[in-house]
Structure 1
Amino acid sequence: MRKAIVAGALVGVLGAVCSAAQIPGPEKFAYWVESNGAANAVVAPGGTVQFMAYMKIMPGDWAVQGWSVALCHDGAVVQMIDPFPDNPTARASAMVAGTNAATVKSGGEPSFNTITVYPNAGVTQGVVIDMMVAVTLPPTDRFSMLKADYRAIGAAGATATLTFCEGALGTPIVENVVVVEGNSISPAVRTGGTITIQSEPLIPTIAAIPAAADLRADKAATGDVKVEIGLAEGSKSIDLQGWSYGLAHDNAKLALVDAQPSATVAALNGGQGPDFYSVNKNPAGGAGVAVAAVVGMAPPFNVIALAGGQKVHTETMTYRSAVELLQANGDQPVDTKLTIVSEVLGDPPVAAVISVDEEGIEFAQKTDGTIRLMPVPAGGVLRKFRRGDANNDSIVNIADGVWILSYAFRGGRVPPCKDAADANDDGKIDQSDAILVIYYQLLNGPAPKAPFPACGTDPSDTSSDSPEDGLNCLVAGNGCA
């Protein structure tokens, strides 16, 4: 079976059922191509770009029954990608998927649609909307007929021209025509496009960089990870309009505590930050964080200027261990990854891209981060607590002073966290701690030592030698967990 369709074949199929309706002239039709709304596209060496072929039908008393397309390109500069080289039916469906042609016949594909790809020369398409001619295409300003993906194979700086060619493709030759009432009409306007290979490649990068390689696995200590977005050495300079990405982690090993913009990002637009900024710390799709930012959405449309080799710190993520590892149990260090992901996290899923010249450019280089979870030294797990909160109810008041006195002099209950009861942090629990708490509450006396009033850990707590250490503190109820 012939894979290409000529105008005569379309006329033969459709001419038998034509009526006496008005036949329009060529000036009533136009073909053109676009990539992201433009006739001209720029692509990195080895990169890919997609174009769509469109048709316009001027208003009038007519309707289109079918069409054929012959779109040529320079095979020395770009190569067309055949999605299914050995399956013509699958190819035809794939190359109209997402176009108007895919639904032209009452919501479905045409009765007849054949597409032939010549990787180094072009593509042809022949369509009969409905073999029974019950369904036709009325006048329309914009109708997408097919899509084609091209790969840049030429030298940097080279340009390929896309043209609606005649006498070049198909056996028999395929022409650029629309069919109305069985008559073939060659559109008067046929506008091609160009694909230019960048003379300087655009090489965007993203990296997740832990501030420290190790994190104490006690469910309390935290570690920061900064995300840097930039350009590789040798990349062309850009005006960065925005960015988005997902950063995934293993929630069996790590817990996300916070995610914040960097000082650089917060200072954009006179300290107002990006015009659009979203940080989703509980995204659909898994454990992680999904980030999206647009620097300027209104005049003067601010950007971040980046040169080759330059990086900008965009966000800081804070994590803590989700597991406890203890040297006393023989636990060993555990490595866990922070992975840059695209179209995994979020609803809809967030792509890992930068925005340059209103186009989304995928990151060419992604550097994931690794955190090593370190077992806690023999003696216990360092917990967060609030100094002075002797009864562990998350509030420091007179009741805590009474608890301390009862424990110190009457054999009362042991404080759930002895370090919290040591209000003056002198390594002992005695009357002076109770007096400090009571004077602070009632007589405007000095406050308990740090950590206070916020929760925290005592950096001097490194073993269980001191009975007042915060190791193994009970955290339930203290508001610090």
Structure 2
Amino acid sequence: MTRAQRPTRLPVISHLAWVLCLGISICFHSNLCAQFSEPILLTAGIDTVSDAQINLDTSCSSCSPQQVSLCARTSDQIHFSGTLLQFETMISALDSANEVGSPALTQGFAAHYLITLEEGVAAGPRTIYLIESYATGFGDPEQISSGSDDCHDSDIEILDSGHRVISWTCSNASGDTVWMKYGETPPVEVGTGASSQVLSVGGETTLIVWLDGTVLRARQVDTGSMGMAFDLYDMLNVPLHWGIESDASANLQIVALVDDQLLLLEGSTTGGITSQQVISNRGTGTSHLSFSSLSQQRYCISWIQDGMLQRHSLRPDGTISTDALDFIEGDPQEVEVAIDAAGNEHFMVISDGEAWYTHDTPAPTADFVITSDDDGIADHTISFHSESAGMISSHLWDFGDGEFSSMPQGEHTYVEPGTFIISLTVTGPGGTDTMVSSGPIEVALPASSMALADIEVFAGQPVYHPVLGTHDNFLQGYQIALRYDATILVMEEISLTGTMAQALLPEFFITQINPAGIDSTMYLAVIFDTLPPFDGRMMDPGTNQTLCTLDYTVQFGTPMGTSTQMSFTDGVGDPPINTIYAIEGGLSEAPYLIHGTVTISQQPQFLFVRGDANYNQSVNIADAIFLLDYLFIGGVASVCPDAADSNDDGSINIGDAINLLNFLFSNGETIPYPYPGYGIDPTPDGLAACLP
């Protein structure tokens, strides 16, 4: 090891002048800098605490949440909380019959936590102990120091190998000495002095730094040896507070309060201290000091001065924040700061004897990409991929069809046609952010399909539930087989009333309802032309034509919120009836099937039939005329806006009149539910409720 020269005090550069020379921007007000999270009280119901400690796992910048551990003490207990406990009220990690003090905290991999502390009996000498947890709770204390000396003020570091390096001070009549223990080796004396700290400087190497009078001294320690002690820096006066940080390249940063000056010293173990900056010339009244650093380009110093929390922070972009922090009420006694691997600041503050935690992690930014090689026809599959930025703990995709995902990427299939808006909400320690797709996902009906609408009903309601058919072939007939729950729905009839099939006067029409509890079935079969003279009657191709209605009543007493599915099926009866279209030429075609859900809701004050714009209990050309009169000639408005919204798009416009006329006279799509019977609007919108 190259021995660092013992320097004299370096020429002092005012920190403000230094940053201005480098062209670094400064932020003097907290409202212009990072915003802090709502502080969390860690010690509700716990006696007055002190000796706050905070530690972070800085090995993973993308991990979320960052692994934060926190501890503090009462007179006879060590208390612990953090990410593992979701920052709930601190638990007791050690309950002692004696007085405990000065805990030091560190953490390893996989929720491995270590706390050193001192324990003493009355006015007798103190002993250093270690308690350790592997996510199953802290075990019994392990004695680290021995002998009759008074041992106190410990520090601890855990290396990647799992080796524990602990340092502490022992005092007797002859003075103070610093001791250390590396792994399972016996304790050894490091040198005269006190107030030691353990630094990991890469691999299995650590640096023990301590204060000997006005001089910071150090020794390098690894698995097999301990180097010679060397002088790191002479403060010329005994610092009131000091702290030191290092990186894996053995670069050093030291913060010290000396003669009312708050100093930042930088250098390395090999080259010594090479620069000194004055952070503040007004150190009078400073009662506590904490320092955390990732590098010489990212550090934070925090202290308490005249009852106020102060912070000085440098970020990699050169922004310097020097400000008073007011996120904790009361009279602060202690502050501890730690920077996570992503560069965010975490604070533990003891104010009026209570411990609080907060951080300045920014909320993540949601962003995503949607792609598809599919044809846009149900069932339609998309690929979704989050490109969100920031510290993210969870993803929540809403695909707009009632389906969700918590995966950052994957595939989703739309089984029903429609227009769908996708949103992604990302959540992290700093908050949440939501992105909504700039355009909808359009999913078209297949050329051949049968569908049951999802509807809301109320207990006791008579329902006319249409079965809708889409086909691009002429139909000679069709079969429909369904399953339903007869404990909720009392099926009364499968009806052709008011349908195009009824207008074709089918020569063969048969239905059967088989109530059997929750696994009930029913079927219908229709053939238009089976008897001579054969006139070739067939149903024209069309979209969302009403093939039949399922007429049922909802059981009284069915609880609100109950949902039941009505599903198309095959193999009902003997011989088995399947769901098919009989198309021109005597061929059968299996349509794409879209099942329906019936949900029990609250009974509204008024029901309506969609399309009945003039609210006269029927749907006909007069309703289209009523709409056009209202829209363009100053006619009266409908007393039931949802009924006038014949295409169910949530607004009343010329499209509703066109939709009605197409349905009535041009073989257009069936009017959306509720039609042909009265019912509840299944689609939320901003239209006013029906009036009496």
Instruction: Provide the TM-score with structure 1 as the length reference.
Output: 0.30
- Give the structure with higher Rg (CA): 2
Higher relative contact order (CA 8 A, sep 6+): 1
Give the structure-2-normalised TM-score: 0.21
Question: Whose helix fraction is larger, Structure 1's or Structure 2's?
Answer: 1
**Larger strand percent:** 2
